[in-house]
Amino acid sequence: MRRTTSPFSLVLLGAGTFLLVLAPLLAWYVHPRAAVNPVDIDTTAVYTGRGSVFDTDRIETVPDRKITITQRVRGDVEDSERSGHAVWDVITTVDTDKSLPAADPHDALAFTPHRWVMDRRTTEPVHCCEETRRIEGEAYLKFPFDVQKRSYQWWDNTLGDTVVMRYRGTAEVQGYTGYRFTASVPPTKSGTRLVPGSIVGRPESPQVLAEEWYSNHGIELVVDQRTGRVLRAQTGPRQTLRAPDSDEDAAVLLDAEKITFTERTQQEAVRQAERDSGRLRLLGETLPVGAAVAGGLLAAAGGVLVARGRKEEERPDESGMPQSTLTK
């Protein structure tokens, strides 16, 4: 009797070994390279709510107006590829029904263009590529991948600084569960603006370099844990003017208790989060675990067959000697 190795057992052993090697490769090499911020992004988020706004025609603050905030984000692919980072151009406009629809975003109540540059994997700010404002913190517009249950430094572009977003558990958006974070901003001087003196209680002065003050009744963000995408954002901005060195607000530019993502914006955010999160889950968990389990089973089965071999009975020929011992 002699033992031979079955080709089938070698195939099983080879396939099992391949899958065992593939499993960590998917988890530690492919998945991290799939979890990157895009360079060709083109999205629009719309917030709506009601509040008080400064009417430039009437030169006074008018209450209970519908407020629409539109945030357009477009990636600069050429600069992104040249720098190796994600370069996003952001335009934020604040409108009332009076300025909508606007043929030119510059006609909005407020128009703020700027550029955000970030590391594609960590989402940390990178200072290059004609960045128009030095953005800091751990998150802005989106959180890093694999969001943790902890506080994050979130960049508030109106404030011009970071605020601490504290983890507050989970919340559902359009039936999809995300992590909830909240923060508030106390009254803080955010800049200066040249205005007629009468607006800030200085009628004797034709123009005054008034102080701009900003606060926020509350910021709430619900974020997809795996991708860091914001599923729902809610903010309560208050922007005022004060006379130089004054402790009191002289004019209210904007004051809203609650401005939040529209239903359509929430639905689109959830749709993209489900798609991207599912892809990352497939590469980081489902396929590696499946490959490891299947590879282990196939390798074990192939190893057993190789070790056991296949027993073949060697039939003697007419000389009575086993064929394997005959000489030519």
Number of H helices, E strands in the chain: 5, 13
Question: What is the band of 99 on the pLDDT scale with cuts at 50, 70, 90?
Answer: confident
- The answer on 170 and 76 residing in a single domain is yes
pLDDT at 325 over 50: no
Residue 323 has pLDDT above 60, yes or no: no
- The pLDDT of residue 321 is above 60: no
Q: Which uninterrupted H or E stretch holds 18?
A: helix 7-25
Report the pLDDT value the prediction gives residue 57, as an integer from 0 to 100.
Answer: 82
Are 126 and 264 part of one and the same domain?
Answer: yes
Is residue 26 pLDDT above 70, yes or no?
no
Burial of 248 (0-12, 13-18, 19+ CB in 10 A): exposed
pLDDT tier, 328 (very low <50, low <70, confident <90, very high otherwise) = very low
149 and 261, same domain (yes or no): yes
- Peptide bond preceding 101: is omega within 30 degrees of 0, i.e. cis? yes
As a whole number, mean pLDDT of residues 304-310 equals 62
29 vs 60, which has greater pLDDT? 60
Structure tokens at 210: 């008034």
Selection from 29-38, 168-177, 277-286 with the highest mean pLDDT: 168-177
Backbone φ and ψ for 252, nearest 5 degrees, come out as -100, 120
Do 295 and 248 share a structural domain? Answer: no
Nearest by Cα to 304 from 312, 294, 316, 296: 296
Per-residue b or e along 174-185, where b marks 16 or more CB atoms closer than 10 Å to that residue's CB: eebebbbbebeb
**pLDDT score, position 313:** 41
Residues 154, 58 within the same domain: yes
Confidence of residue 35 (pLDDT cuts 50, 70, 90): confident
Of 18-32, 77-91, 207-221, 312-326, minimum mean pLDDT range = 312-326
- Nearest of 157, 178, 270, 183 to residue 235 by alpha carbon: 183
Q: What is the pLDDT of residues 146-177, one digit of tens each?
A: 999 999 999 999 999 999 999 999 999 999 99
Using a pLDDT cut of 90, give the percent of the chain over it: 64
Euclidean distance between CA atoms 285 and 302, whole angstroms: 25
Tell me the pLDDT band of 207, cut-offs 50, 70 and 90. very high
Q: Is 60 in the same domain as 6? A: no
Instruction: Express each pLDDT in 252-263 by its tens digit.
Output: 999 999 999 999
pLDDT at 69 over 70: yes
User: Would you state the pLDDT for residue 32?
Assistant: 59
d(CA 40, CA 115): 14
- The residue with greater pLDDT, 12 or 161, is 161
Confidence of residue 289 (pLDDT cuts 50, 70, 90): low
**Segments forming the whole domain that contains residue 11:** 2-26+282-325
Contact 65, 52 (CB under 8 A): yes
Question: Which has the higher per-residue pLDDT, 62 or 35?
Answer: 62
Please tell me the total count of domains within the chain.
Answer: 2
Note the pLDDT of residue 109.
79
**12 & 32 share domain:** no
- Per residue in 133-144, pLDDT (tens digit) is 899 999 999 999
pLDDT at 315: 47
What is the Cα Rg of the chain in Å? 32
Would you say residue 326 has pLDDT above 50?
no
Distance set, CA 33 to CA 14, 67, 71, 117, 183 (Å): 27, 40, 28, 19, 32
**144 and 233 assigned to the same domain:** yes
- Residues 20 and 56 both lie in one domain: no
Q: Is the per-residue pLDDT at 312 higher than 50?
A: no
Residue 103 CA to residue 111 CA, distance in Å, equals: 13
Instruction: Confirm if 97 and 65 have CB atoms less than 8 A apart.
Output: yes
Span 58-82, average pLDDT: 94
In this structure, are 13 and 41 located in the same domain?
A: no
Q: In terms of domains, do 241 and 319 share one?
A: no
Question: In whole angstroms, what is the distance from residue 264 CA to residue 131 CA?
Answer: 30
Q: Which of 105, 59, 51, 99 is nearest to 254 (CA)?
A: 51
Q: Of 190, 188, 194, 189, which is closest to residue 210 (Cα–Cα)?
A: 194
Give the model's pLDDT for residue 318.
53
pLDDT the model gives residue 18: 59
pTM exceeds 0.75: yes
What is the spatial distance between Cα 244 and Cα 195, in angstroms, rounded to a whole number? Answer: 12
Provide the Cα torsion 229, 237, 188, 206; round to 10°.
130
Residues 218 and 315 in one domain: no
